[in-house]
């Protein structure tokens, strides 16, 4: 069951990213100590299949607005709301960067078409660091690997 903060975050990003099918966009809502939005920023726009996200850019904005927490969000142009392995690894890397600074990653919303899912509700938001912070660019793929395999199998059977 979704809690009210997840529903609010999901609906907010659905309004911003819903229906976007021509490119993948990655956004961050930077929040104050009361979890009110200080600023929402588009951090990256890519192609229909992926976008490159630079953690150091997220860090610059987080420090500039002196946020206490953030909510990550991106769309999947193929309309899947399932987090890919890349989405999970990316979320862990962002936690690795921001947890030592006392900045919480509250959720990662994935928008696909007219719906969304919450990685927090799925239990995919890490609570603590797994490794040392890594600031290299991260490429997010729009389609989970199993979907790519299934789509490939489907086109081969035609």
- Best CA proximity match to 83, nearest among 123, 113, 45: 123
Within 10 A of 60 (CB to CB), how many other CB atoms are there?
A: 11
Numbers of helices and strands, H then E, in the chain = 4, 7
Which CATH architecture best describes the domain 4-156? 3-Layer(aba) Sandwich (3.40)
The pLDDT of residue 2: 55
Contact 53, 19 (CB under 8 A): no
- Answer yes or no: is pLDDT of 140 > 80: no
pLDDT bucket at 149, cuts 50 / 70 / 90: low
| Cα separation, 119 vs 101, whole angstroms | 22
Domain boundaries, given as residue ranges, for the chain:
4-156
- Give Cβ neighbours of residue 47 (< 8 Å, ≥ 6 apart): 23, 24
Q: Which residue has the tokens 């420090």?
A: 63
Q: How confident is the model at residue 154 (pLDDT cuts 50, 70, 90)?
A: very low
43-87 residue pLDDT tens: 998 887 778 888 999 999 999 999 999 999 999 988 889 998 999
Decide: 109 and 26 in contact? Cβ < 8 Å: no
| Helix or strand run (H / E) with residue 111 | strand 104-112
Non-local (6+) Cβ contacts of 152 within 8 A are none
What does the pLDDT look like over 75-131, one tens digit per residue?
998 888 999 899 999 999 999 999 999 999 999 999 998 999 999 999 989 887 787
């Amino acid at each position: 069951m979704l809690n009210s903060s997840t529903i609010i975050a999901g609906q907010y990003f659905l309004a911003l990213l819903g229906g976007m099918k021509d490119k993948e966009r990655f956004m961050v809502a930077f929040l104050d100590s009361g979890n009110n939005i200080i600023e929402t920023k588009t951090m990256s726009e890519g192609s229909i299949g992926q976008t490159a996200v630079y953690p150091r850019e997220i860090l610059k904005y987080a420090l500039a607005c002196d946020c206490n927490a953030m909510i990550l969000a991106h769309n999947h142009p193929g309309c899947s709301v399932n987090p890919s392995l890349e989405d999970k690894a990316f979320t862990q890397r962002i936690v690795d960067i921001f947890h030592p600074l006392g900045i919480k990653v509250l959720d990662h919303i994935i928008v696909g078409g007219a719906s969304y899912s919450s990685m927090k509700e799925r239990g995919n938001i890490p609570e603590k660091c797994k490794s040392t912070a890594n600031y290299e660019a991260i490429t997010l793929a729009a389609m989970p690997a199993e979907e790519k395999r299934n789509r490939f199998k489907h086109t081969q059977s035609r």
